[in-house]
Amino acid sequence: MTPPGPDRAPGPVPGKGTAAGPGSAPADGLTPDRVKCVVWDLDNTLWDGIAVESPTGALPTPRPWVLEAIGTLAERGVLSSVASRTDPAVLEQLRADPALAERFVAPQAGWQDKSESLRRIADDLGIAVEALLLVDDSPYERAEVAAMLPGVPTLAPEQVPELLAALTAGPVTEDARRRVSRYRAEAVRKEERRRFAGSREEFLHSCRMRLSLGTARDEDLPRVAELATRTHRLNSSGLDLDPGTLRASLADGGTTVLVAELEDRFGDYGMIGTALVERTPGAWTVPLLALSCRIAGRGVSVAFLRWLMDRARDEGAAEFRVVSRPTSANVELRLLFRQAGLRVIGEPGRDRSAPLTLGRPLDGTLPEFPSWLALSGR
């Protein structure tokens, strides 16, 4: 698939004679596993021309190659959104078109800066803004985002094939394929919460959440590796895993992979949490605890942590430990560890980004399970 070049006529892609312009990052500089949502500009990106200048008042016809790219992204579990500096009425037209509306989550259109639109999208989706990527034909807009949100990569439309090549290089899990539909279910949850007249806790009880917990099966390992790689906000250590490494660790008998799945009355979240556990006489050590950011604010992280502690104690462990590598993204999880009574073992080194081992005895009071969560075995 070759998109049109900057002059809107078919042309080469960057690296083959076409300059992408200022504010664009080369696609080979991307970190594909960090991209959770591609944000598309509208005018001269999603379609040719400017929507508000349409003589008929109808939206321009989307470029087929862009729709194809959005479909490929969805198959890989990457969301698509919209950020456009235009009349907000254009967004209402887009939402009224089922064929277009179903392709985008949390779209933004208005006269605010693109960087502000990206912040709103990230906040709406509950992901880090650095997990976004902007595709925009305007060098100015790409430069504005690069200046205000330096962690967000930006691409010109003609660079999209390189992005797709990078994203499609690895395996894809069933959870990834269903990610777009799950974010749509999350939008329904948010709208229900907005309308709900009771308290937050009453709403959570009304959701009828069920957390299923157990030992990972072999077919779960690709998703476990995906959680380890793609989650940052609720990731204790950022340990780099792949299914082959996991299988080798499990073969020695001293390592266990435990997982959590979540569902509620709105739908199935799929596998949303994992913990790699090393069992030694007297202690359980968790080198990695990772949860999907989609479950933040639901009490799932504390429930998963409590269940791990219970299981460790049931198997005779006297101490529970977690490896934590402090980052700017995982402050929320580190705060949870502290609230759960986990403290640094030994003297921390001078390198504040180095991993720490946190621990606590298991004979004291453990964190309480949230009352709105029903637990079951897998």
pLDDT at 371 over 80: yes
Average pLDDT of 217-228? 92
**Position 156 confidence tier, pLDDT thresholds 50, 70, 90:** very high
Question: 167 φ, ψ to 5°?
Answer: -75, -30
pLDDT of 138 above 50:
yes
Compute the distance between CA of residue 209 and CA of residue 262 in angstroms, rounded to an integer: 7
Q: Residue range 23-36: average pLDDT?
A: 61
Q: Parse the chain into domains and list their residue ranges.
A: 27-167, 174-377
Residue 214, pLDDT score = 97
Who has greater pLDDT, 22 or 34? 34
pLDDT for the residue 352: 72
Can you tell me the mean pLDDT for 8-12? 38
pLDDT tens, position by position, 320-356: 999 999 998 899 999 999 999 999 998 777 777 788 9
Looking at per-residue confidence, does 178 or 109 come out higher? Answer: 109
Residue pair 10/52 in contact (Cβ under 8 Å)? The answer is no
The two beta strands, 79-85 and 283-291, are: unpaired
The whole-number pLDDT of residue 9 equals 36
Contact 108, 83 (CB under 8 A): yes
Q: Quickly state the pLDDT bin for 6 (edges 50, 70, 90).
A: very low
Q: What pLDDT, on a 0 to 100 scale, did the predictor assign at position 24?
A: 44
CA distances from 106 to 247, 323, 333 (A): 38, 35, 25
Per mean pLDDT, which range of 62-66, 106-110, 182-186, 351-355 is the poorest? 351-355
Mean pLDDT along residues 18-26: 41
Please check the confidence at residue 237 and state whether its pLDDT lies above 50: yes
| Contacts of 220 by beta carbon, 8 Å cutoff, 6+ apart | 257, 259, 271
What lies within 8 Å, CB to CB, of 241 at 6+ separation is 224, 225, 228, 229, 276, 288
Architecture (CATH level 2) of domain 174-377: 3-Layer(aba) Sandwich (3.40)
Q: Which residue has the higher pLDDT, 26 or 49?
A: 49
Higher-confidence position of 302 and 28: 302
pLDDT at 250: 80
Model pLDDT, residue 350: 75
Average pLDDT over residues 72-88: 94
Instruction: Give pLDDT tens digits for 253-296.
Output: 778 999 999 999 999 999 999 999 999 889 999 999 999 988 99
Which run of H or of E encompasses 247? helix 243-251
CA 172 to CA 105: how far, in whole Å? Answer: 21
Which DSSP string do the residues of 278-326 spell out, in sequence order? EEETTEEEEEEEEE-GGGTTTTHHHHHHHHHHHHHHHTT-SEEEEEE--
Q: What is the architecture of the domain spanning 27-167?
A: 3-Layer(aba) Sandwich (3.40)
Average pLDDT, the chain: 88
pLDDT in tens, 163-175: 998 886 666 778 8
